[in-house]
Amino acid sequence: MDERDAEIEVCQAIWPELTQGQEDPYLLNLVVDVELNDPLELLFKEPETVHGEGNVNYVSEKVKYLPPLQVAIALPSGYPETAPPQVSISTTPSWLPREKLQELEDLAFSLWKTGTSDILYCYIERIFEQPQDHFGYTSGIKIGSELRLSLLEFQASVIKAAFDASTIACTVCLERKSGAECYKLARCGHVFCKGCLHDFYTAMIQEGSVQSVTCPSPDCHILSASGGKVQPSIPPAELLDMGMEPETVQRYAYMKRKKAIDSDRSIVRCPRTWCDGSSRSKKYPPMKDIAEMRELDETTTTESTSSDEALNSKIAICDKCELTFCRRCKKTWHGDFAFCGTSEEAAADLASMEFIQQHSCECPSCGSAITKSSGCNHMVCFNCRTHFCYICGTWLEPGNPYPHFNTLGTQCYQQLWVEEDLIERKTLVRRRVPDRAPNFDAQVNAILMEQLRLEDEQ
Cβ distance 359 to 371 under 8 Å?
yes
Q: Which amino acid is at 271?
A: P
Minimum gap (Å) between residue 403 Cβ and Zn ion: 11
Q: Name the H helices within 181-336.
A: 194-207, 236-241, 246-262, 307-311
Minimum gap (Å) between residue 397 Cβ and Zn ion: 13
Backbone dihedral angles phi then psi of residue 306, each to the nearest 5 degrees: -65, 155
Minimum gap (Å) between residue 455 Cβ and Zn ion: 24
Which CB, 188 or 310, lies closer to Zn ion? 188
Minimum gap (Å) between residue 151 Cβ and Zn ion: 29
Which CB, 68 or 393, lies closer to Zn ion? 393
Element (H, E) at 112: helix 98-114
Which CB, 111 or 363, lies closer to Zn ion? 363
d(CA 445, CA 96): 72
Q: Say which residues have a Cβ less than 8 Å from residue 39's Cβ, sequence separation at least 6.
A: 62, 63, 64
Minimum gap (Å) between residue 358 Cβ and Zn ion: 20
Q: Say which residues have a Cβ less than 8 Å from residue 233's Cβ, sequence separation at least 6.
A: 210, 211, 213, 214, 256, 296, 297
Cβ distance 235 to 295 under 8 Å?
yes
Q: Say which residues have a Cβ less than 8 Å from residue 252's Cβ, sequence separation at least 6.
A: 201, 205, 210, 213, 236, 239
Minimum gap (Å) between residue 370 Cβ and Zn ion: 8
Minimum gap (Å) between residue 431 Cβ and Zn ion: 13
Which CB, 40 or 353, lies closer to Zn ion? 353
Number of H helices and E strands in the chain, helices first, is 11, 17
Which CB, 312 or 383, lies closer to Zn ion? 383
> Which residues bind to Zn ion, rule: CB under 5 A?
170, 172-173, 188, 190, 193, 196, 215, 217, 220, 270, 272, 275, 277, 318, 320-321, 323, 326, 328-329, 340, 363, 365-366, 368, 381, 383-384, 386, 389, 391-392, 394, 412
Burial 249-259 (b: 16+ CB within 10 A, else e): bebbbebbbee
d(CA 254, CA 248): 10
Which CB, 386 or 451, lies closer to Zn ion? 386
Which CB, 206 or 383, lies closer to Zn ion? 383
